[in-house]
A and B are shown apart, each in its own frame.
Chain A
Amino acid sequence: MKNLIRTAAFLKPYAWQVIATLVMLLTLTGLNLLVPRIIQNVIDDGLLRGDTTYLIRSALLLLGLGLGSALLGMGNRYGSEWVAAHVGYDLRNRMYDHIQYLPFSYHDHAQSGQLISRCIEDVRAIERFAGSSIPELVRFVFLTIGILAVMVSANATLALISLLPMIPLILMTASFGTKIGKLFFAVDMAVGEVSNRLQENVTGVQVVRAFAREQYEIRRFEAANKDVFVKWLHVIDEWAKIMPTTNWLITIGTILILYFGGQMVIDGTLTIGAVVAFNAYLLMMAEPAQALTGLVNAGGEAAAGAQRVFEVLDTEPDIRSKKDALTLSTLRGEVEFRNVSLKYQDEKVSSLSDVNLQVHRNQIVALIGPTGSGKTSLINLIPRFYDVTDGAVLIDRHDVRDVELTSLRRQIGIVLQTSLLFSDTIKANIAYGRPDATDEEIFAAAKAAQAHEFIESFTKGYETIVGERGVTLSGGQRQRVAIARALLMDPRILILDDSLSSVDTQTEKLIQSALDVLMEGRTTFVIAHRLSTVRRADMILVMDKGQIVEHGTHDELLARGGLYKEIHDLQLMQRDGFEEAMIESILTEKPQHENTIIAGRSNSG
């Protein structure tokens, strides 16, 4: 109920339209009540008096009324649909926008299928309710009061007797109303789950196929589908109970009138005409009584939808700029972590504990360390994707929680570890952060990311549309488009989260040298496993179990002989093995190539 009242608030901007619709509806109801009168007059006056002009007039009047009520009916229907569509439009906009601002931590635990079904299906239910049920409700109240008044004034005793069945009817409807909302909520949740199953199976289709798990997934889907089925049956069983019973109770009213009214007529206290008239009134009640069930039903459906919609809208995005947040102008690019700890929502252990870090402008910082040691978690704090549990992250000495988010994020170019693209052209994907970029800028960014060449090789070049999430590109191609996308931002702070993992060594080299130029004059964070990427950094952070265990330059860290040295030795060992083999083969087979090795990368690009 509370949710429904909140829903009604969405009608506010359209108050006038709602009132107009209502007026049309009430006038229409009035006009409909006139028709029997006219016909009665035709019979009583026109026919009895033998007046032909009266007949013509009545016929024209009927036609006029028909036209009038048609226009009103049209206006009412269109009006209510108009209001409904606009309410839906507003709600979808709000939901969409709200979801966009909900923080990472919300989306980590949210199921996208459920979110989508809330935006579309649940909004639909609210829309229907707001558009047509609310005016209907008003009409219902008016009609009921009118009929009741007429009945009671005609014969109070008989009115009371014949209205007796209304009591169980109202009680039933009330209990139906309380139950149906919950049942619809269950239906909505079940539908959301079906939507989740679909979402997962489309996104993970390759895994399902690779493991020949189609039957397994079909069974899981069937379970979810069965749940929708069962939950709907619960709703329907309520319908099946209330709908026929409503009709029946009206009939019982007729029977009561017949029996008691008939007795009265026999006793001589009532006329037959009065009994017949009473029955007619009662039948007029039938329509609104049935409509009531529909109304309560729509109300329940909308309430369930509203609850689900409000669950999302009421989640305050806790990562949002403060009211008096500072809008950053061009950053110098100093980053400081002060005793930073991070514990993700619902987790027991901290993913970062007591991290201290001081990065000067234009420094290059490399992060290395075991999987799950907290590298991604650390860099995610810089654009404030998550808030620290303890300590503070400062950019140019401002706590990131005090600055205006967009002004911060606009100056950070980040290549996320999973390089997701949108189903749009490659060009639009590169220009994602700066839709106003010129073609030259886009090409330049693509060239720096070593993407230009392969993009040009496609039949449609930059206008090639990539599949959802970028599925039609190879992994390394996707990563390079994502790098281009970040470079185009011309950011003050550049963050590369393991962005070259799917790129072959040769291309990596090329990107590396392009980046060398690009990193100049920016503060850069690079996460990588290959030492070739890491070693040139001004500062290397070695992470383990959520802490920075070592930091320094390549040479300093080697001298320390810690974790970094271990990693280094491992990689060196592998490389040594390779170089040995290479040198051996060259020396023994084709000594003439010796020059090229030493000359380096001359002919390879």
Chain B
Amino acid sequence: MTTKIIPPTFITQSEEQLDKGYDPRVAQGLMGFVKPYYGQMLFALALMVVVTAASVSGPYFVKLAIDEGVNAKDPIALRNIVLVYLLVSIVQLGFNYWRVRIMSRVGQHVLYDVRTTMFAHLQRLSLSFYNRYSVGRVITRVINDVGTLREFVTWAVLAIVRNLLGIVGTLIAMIALNFKLSLLTFAVLPLMVFATIAFRKAARKNYRKVRAAVSWANSILAENVNGVRVVQAFSRQQRNHQTFSGYVNRYFLETSLDAAWVASLFTPVIDVLGALATALVVYIGGTAVLGESITAGVLIAFVLYIDRFFEPIRDLSRRFDTLQSTMAGGERILELLKTPVEVRDEENANEMESITGAVRFGHVSFHYSDDPALVLDQIDLDVKPGETVALVGETGAGKTTIVKLLARFHDPTEGCVLVDGVDLRTVTQQSLRRQMGMVLQDPFLFNGTVKENILFGRLDAKDEEVIAAAKAVGAHDFIINLKNGYDTSVEEGGVTLSVGQRQLISFARALLANPRILILDEATSSVDTQTEHIIQSALATLLKGRTSFVIAHRLSTITNADKIVVIEGGKIVEQGTHTELLTKQGVYYDLYRTGFQE
């Protein structure tokens, strides 16, 4: 039974390219995280050897107690032997406790390292990555897939070693006992190897699908939780539920069942092989006993050994299940970690020095990675320090894209962007952006207080500075009227504030950063006329000495700019001052004539 549901390609796309059987690189990649803890693991291993020795010695103490104490009718000897046994068991307890603690700590450390590494990598990945990778998928990678490692690093690693030790030990004992009967037992080994290989293939495929299912479910959940207001506004609940239960969740169910099926097949197969070996030994060994070539004791011991031989194999097969699931999770973790960073700092990148604010776009062309159509086409632009540039044009003309290139969210596909004559690709992103302030088109606030959100612009700012920034954008009045003033907590995404209020807070945030280059992308589009007017009159002082890029549709914001740049279809079609452009009676003139005529 395999599922007929096909999840969208972006969920499964990694499958084909990864589907080449066992990939030692996955194991290696994961071992890289374990490496720093080799010392501790070796120590735990040593502890385990002691513990195993102590536990193996148990039957020996029983034998001693019976032979020397009970049979010899010597109560003192009995007491002494029992006391030693007790002592050994206490040592075993202590060491065992120690071992579990060390190993589980190592396990948690590894998980911590993996998660932190992933997050740090996420912080470096360029923005285009986030167009493709949904919130749900990121969460799946960092939480669920890392979770599959837990069992593995905490228990499985040592258990595997222990089982292997057990198998080898038993093998040696069996061979020492009777070589022919051993061979008989080993006759089933090829079958076992074959079963294991077949299982591994099937299990791996299935677990990969399970990981994909988790990913899909997480994506759908995340998106619908985030968009729940739209869901309700359009009464989509029923249909969404059908999609979820009929496809996404059903895929989850079916892949889980497939994986369960293969897993539940494997252990019994090993059991049957074990029974086969026992039956063979009983029959052939028994005949041998009858023919008096071996003693009954040897036969009994052998039967016990077969059990000891198969027990670790059975345990291994259970671990193997974990291992397969870990491998599938590990693959996806590494896939994320190996995603190349598109916008990266050069190795010899310099710190951007204190910016004076000259900006130049030289023959810049650009398209987003998922669509080959040019969004910007041969942009040439020269801005002097301290100038205010207004970008105008239809929505979708490419205005936001221009400022994104200036902040180096993306690198141009052609041409170069220079600040103070320095190509942005030669300096570190941090040093560049630290001197920039942006108010993005979509105001985004973090979970935290209003003050914390403004402080995001400059963490060490004083309270007075925060208030001054808020006042400058006309946000102070509404903030002090909130429940706890500046300490009012803002919910995820700022949903308990009106959109205009969110815009004002993110405006204040950008001002507080005291940037050399300020970018205002429709910063006040949802703000009322009067507040906007307040900001307008403050803006002249606010923009003084900074180079600024302003995108706005309301004229008042634009007219005072030193330079107005008109963008159409990704090209600059006109630039100049307000009066110059009006005089020219070109696109700008048309644009606003229609806009302002009643």
Chain A residues within 8 Å of B224, by CB? 96, 99-100
Cβ-neighbour of A239 out of B100, B138, B396, B526 (below 8 A): B100
Q: Which residues of chain A in 161-189 are interfacial with respect to chain B, using CB atoms and an 8 Å cutoff?
A: none
Q: Quick one: CB contact mask for B51-88 with A, threshold 8 Å, 1 for yes?
A: 00000001001100110011101010011011001100
B261 at interface, CB cutoff 8 A: yes
Whether A199 contacts B222 by the Cβ 8 Å rule is yes
Give the complex CA separation of A225 and B75 in angstroms.
58
Give the complex CA separation of A62 and B276 in angstroms.
8
A153 at interface, CB cutoff 8 A: no
Q: Quick one: CB contact mask for B572-598 with A, threshold 8 Å, 1 for yes?
A: 000000110011010001111111111
Q: Which of B326-334, B353-361, B492-500 contacts A (4 or more CB under 8 A)?
A: B492-500
Chain A proximity of B189: nearest CB distance (Å): 17
Give the complex CA separation of A458 and B372 in angstroms.
10
Whether A117 contacts B593 by the Cβ 8 Å rule is no
Give the complex CA separation of A406 and B338 in angstroms.
46
Chain A residues within 8 Å of B371, by CB? 458-459, 464
A133 at interface, CB cutoff 8 A: no
Chain B residues within 8 Å of A115, by CB? 221, 225
A255 at interface, CB cutoff 8 A: yes
Chain B proximity of A532: nearest CB distance (Å): 7
Nearest residue, chain A, Cβ from B254? A85
Whether A574 contacts B105 by the Cβ 8 Å rule is no
Give the complex CA separation of A418 and B492 in angstroms.
14
A154 at interface, CB cutoff 8 A: no
A16 at interface, CB cutoff 8 A: no
Chain B proximity of A147: nearest CB distance (Å): 19
What would 19 more interface pairs be, CB under 8 Å, given A102-B228, A570-B529? A43-B299, A47-B299, A66-B274, A69-B271, A74-B268, A96-B249, A100-B237, A115-B225, A194-B142, A236-B154, A245-B97, A258-B65, A263-B78, A266-B70, A349-B483, A371-B504, A475-B522, A570-B533, A578-B559
Chain B residues within 8 Å of A222, by CB? 116, 119
B462 at interface, CB cutoff 8 A: no
Chain B proximity of A344: nearest CB distance (Å): 7
Q: Jot down 29 A-B pairs with beta carbons below 8 A, ordered by A.
A: A55-B283, A59-B279, A59-B282, A69-B268, A70-B269, A77-B260, A99-B225, A100-B228, A104-B232, A112-B226, A113-B139, A117-B143, A120-B218, A198-B139, A206-B444, A225-B116, A258-B65, A259-B82, A262-B65, A371-B503, A385-B233, A406-B235, A409-B233, A410-B235, A433-B235, A502-B395, A505-B555, A570-B529, A589-B585
Q: Quick one: CB contact mask for A336-361 with B, threshold 8 Å, 1 for yes?
A: 00000000101111000000000000
Chain A residues within 8 Å of B227, by CB? 420, 422, 469
Known: A92-B249, A93-B244, A116-B222. A477 touches B396 (CB 8 A): yes
Whether B498 contacts A66 by the Cβ 8 Å rule is no
Cβ-neighbour of A501 out of B116, B234, B526, B530 (below 8 A): B526
Give the complex CA separation of A237 and B102 in angstroms.
10
Q: Which of A301-309, A389-397, A514-522, A596-604 contacts B (4 or more CB under 8 A)?
A: A596-604
Known: A74-B265, A209-B409. A254 touches B58 (CB 8 A): yes
Cβ-neighbour of A582 out of B432, B434, B582 (below 8 A): B582
Known: A504-B394, A532-B598. A467 touches B591 (CB 8 A): no
B166 at interface, CB cutoff 8 A: no
Nearest residue, chain A, Cβ from B432? A212
Q: Quick one: CB contact mask for B228-254 with A, threshold 8 Å, 1 for yes?
A: 111111111101110011000110110
B147 at interface, CB cutoff 8 A: yes
B418 at interface, CB cutoff 8 A: no
Cβ-neighbour of B275 out of A65, A191, A208, A240 (below 8 A): A65
Q: Which of A4-12, A134-142, A213-221 contacts B (4 or more CB under 8 A)?
A: A213-221
Give the complex CA separation of A208 and B136 in angstroms.
19
Chain A proximity of B126: nearest CB distance (Å): 9
Give the complex CA separation of A204 and B443 in angstroms.
9
> Which interface residue of B429, B436, B500, B501 has the most chain A CB atoms within 10 A?
B500
Whether A590 contacts B123 by the Cβ 8 Å rule is no
Chain B proximity of A573: nearest CB distance (Å): 9
Whether B230 contacts A416 by the Cβ 8 Å rule is yes
Whether A590 contacts B585 by the Cβ 8 Å rule is yes
Whether B268 contacts A420 by the Cβ 8 Å rule is no
A42 at interface, CB cutoff 8 A: yes
B124 at interface, CB cutoff 8 A: yes
Chain B residues within 8 Å of A254, by CB? 58, 62
Nearest residue, chain A, Cβ from B245? A93
Give the complex CA separation of A204 and B400 in angstroms.
17
Chain B residues within 8 Å of A371, by CB? 478, 498, 500-501, 503-504, 526-528, 531
Whether B62 contacts A279 by the Cβ 8 Å rule is yes
Chain B proximity of A62: nearest CB distance (Å): 4
Chain B proximity of A226: nearest CB distance (Å): 7
Cβ-neighbour of A229 out of B89, B108, B409 (below 8 A): B108
B347 at interface, CB cutoff 8 A: no
Q: Which residues of chain A in 505-529 are interfacial with respect to chain B, using CB atoms and an 8 Å cutoff?
A: 505-509, 529
Q: Quick one: CB contact mask for A33-49 with B, threshold 8 Å, 1 for yes?
A: 00000010011001100
Chain A residues within 8 Å of B86, by CB? 252, 255
Give the complex CA separation of A92 and B249 in angstroms.
7
Cβ-neighbour of A251 out of B58, B528, B578, B595 (below 8 A): B58
Whether B97 contacts A112 by the Cβ 8 Å rule is no
Chain A residues within 8 Å of B239, by CB? 435
Nearest residue, chain B, Cβ from A256? B82
Give the complex CA separation of A101 and B237 in angstroms.
7
Whether A275 contacts B70 by the Cβ 8 Å rule is yes
Chain B residues within 8 Å of A318, by CB? none
Chain A residues within 8 Å of B135, by CB? 198-199, 202-203, 468
> Which interface residue of B135, B138, B299, B409 has the most chain A CB atoms within 10 A?
B135
Cβ-neighbour of B290 out of A52, A259, A383 (below 8 A): A52
Cβ-neighbour of B264 out of A62, A74, A435 (below 8 A): A74
